[in-house]
């Protein structure tokens, strides 16, 4: 990375209380626990209630990350929310978060890169710090996919859950923090994972709702193949860019879509399974939230320590993919510069 070194100095996450188990899904679609667990690794996922919107999840995660980083909302320079399920088409979720947090001087924008959103957002936020424009950036990966999930489609409704994860970025000591980013896209296959109606191509109408076009549509098999190919490749490329190799990895924090996709990435990297952070059994696929929530859990449970090499990698709608290699720079006076 050129310019100042940038690191994550605080993390936080939030999951809605309500849980949907595989047994709950068995009651509404033709599926069973054995199929879901063996094909995806998922046993349950969290679901926000009717009155809860995306920004509500973001604010809870953001407060925890700010407290962890010992940063006050009014000191934030920029807030980026990576999501495809903002409260409204506009205003942005990031502006709602900025207002409710009281981050009075922060610029704010949303960023849409599907499940790769957190990768794109930390890469973007880091640039502002590396080049000296900003000192305190809040990056949130959040999605509330259960609001756009079709609970008559057993191919998708078993996968998705809601959540938010947040990270505070600051300048850190040289050589710590972000070592490399890899971002990519494959737009010609964008329709493989899509919410067809509600945008300017097909505005919401009685017909679009009746045709269930406001829900997620996914060609699961095709997305699966893309994921298996790109997750491993992007992770390896980010290690090479950082001047490291597979054996240097202390922890892999992958997008939590399907345990078989995670296993394929692990095999490609040739790393031990105990170096991989997995929460999809409890949380399902939380889209842009999945990586930051898993990262927060790994930090708060004392797995990740200062100096560890952590690789985050994801893929998602777009289609997109992204990876980041970092040397964990714990917050505290000794690393903040």
Which 3 state secondary structure label does DSSP give 140?
strand
Tell the smallest beta-carbon distance from residue 227 to ligand UT7 (Å): 6
Q: Which of 136, 285, 331, 336 is catalytic?
A: 285
Tell the smallest beta-carbon distance from residue 129 to ligand UT7 (Å): 28
Q: Which of 58, 95, 115, 283 is catalytic?
A: 115
Residue nearer to ligand UT7 on the CB measure, 71 or 277: 277
Tell the smallest beta-carbon distance from residue 256 to ligand UT7 (Å): 8
In angstroms, how far is the first alpha carbon of the chain from the final one?
17
Tell the smallest beta-carbon distance from residue 23 to ligand UT7 (Å): 13
Sheet containing 137-144: which strands, arranged edge to edge? 6-14, 162-171, 137-144, 78-82, 107-111
Does residue 115 have an active-site annotation?
Answer: yes
Does residue 58 have an active-site annotation?
Answer: no
Measure Cα distances from 262 to 16, 70, 218, 328 in Å.
24, 33, 19, 22
**Over 190-218, what HEC string results?**
HHHEECCCCCCCCCCCHHHHHCCCCCCEE
Tell me which residues touch ligand UT7 (CB under 6 A). 31, 35-36, 39-40, 115, 154-155, 158, 193, 218, 220-221, 223-224, 227, 257-258, 285, 316
Q: Which of 136, 255, 258, 324 is catalytic?
A: 255
Tell the smallest beta-carbon distance from residue 64 to ligand UT7 (Å): 24
Residue nearer to ligand UT7 on the CB measure, 40 or 127: 40
Q: Cβ of 88: how many Cβ atoms within 10 Å?
A: 11
Q: Which of 45, 46, 60 is nearest to 16 (CA)?
A: 46
Separation of CA 165 from chain center: 7
Catalytic site positions: 115, 255, 285
């Amino acid at each position: 990375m050129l310019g100042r070194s940038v690191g994550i100095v605080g993390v936080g996450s939030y999951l809605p209380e309500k849980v949907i188990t595989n047994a709950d899904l068995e009651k509404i679609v033709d599926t069973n626990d054995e199929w879901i667990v063996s094909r995806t690794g998922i046993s349950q996922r969290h679901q926000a209630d009717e009155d809860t919107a995306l920004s509500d999840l973001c604010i809870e995660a953001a407060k925890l990350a700010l407290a962890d980083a010992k940063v006050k909302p009014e000191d934030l320079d920029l807030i980026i929310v990576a999501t495809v399920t903002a409260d409204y088409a506009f205003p942005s979720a990031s502006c709602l978060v900025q207002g409710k947090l009281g981050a009075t001087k922060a610029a704010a924008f949303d960023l849409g890169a599907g499940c790769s959103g957190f990768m794109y957002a930390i890469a973007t936020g880091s640039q502002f710090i590396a080049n000296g424009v900003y000192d305190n950036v809040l990056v949130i990966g959040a999605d509330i996919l259960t609001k756009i999930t079709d609970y008559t489609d057993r191919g998708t409704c078993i996968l998705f859950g809601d959540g938010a994860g947040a990270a505070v970025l600051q300048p850190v000591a040289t050589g710590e923090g972000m070592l490399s980013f890899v971002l990519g896209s494959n737009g010609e296959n964008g329709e493989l994972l899509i919410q067809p109606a509600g945008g300017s191509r097909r505005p919401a109408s009685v017909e679009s709702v009746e045709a269930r076009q406001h829900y997620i549509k996914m060609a699961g098999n095709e997305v699966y193949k893309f994921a298996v190919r790109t997750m491993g490749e992007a992770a390896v490329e980010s290690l090479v860019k950082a001047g490291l190799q597979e054996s240097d990895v202390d922890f892999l924090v992958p997008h939590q879509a399907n345990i078989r996709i995670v296993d394929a990435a692990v095999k490609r990297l040739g790393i031990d399974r105990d170096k991989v952070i997995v929460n999809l059994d409890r949380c399902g696929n939380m889209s842009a939230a999945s990586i930051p929530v898993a990262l927060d859990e790994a930090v708060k449970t004392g797995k990740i320590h200062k100096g560890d090499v952590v690789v985050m990698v994801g893929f998602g709608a777009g289609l997109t993919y992204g990876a980041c290699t970092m040397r964990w720079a714990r917050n505290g006076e000794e690393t903040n510069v």
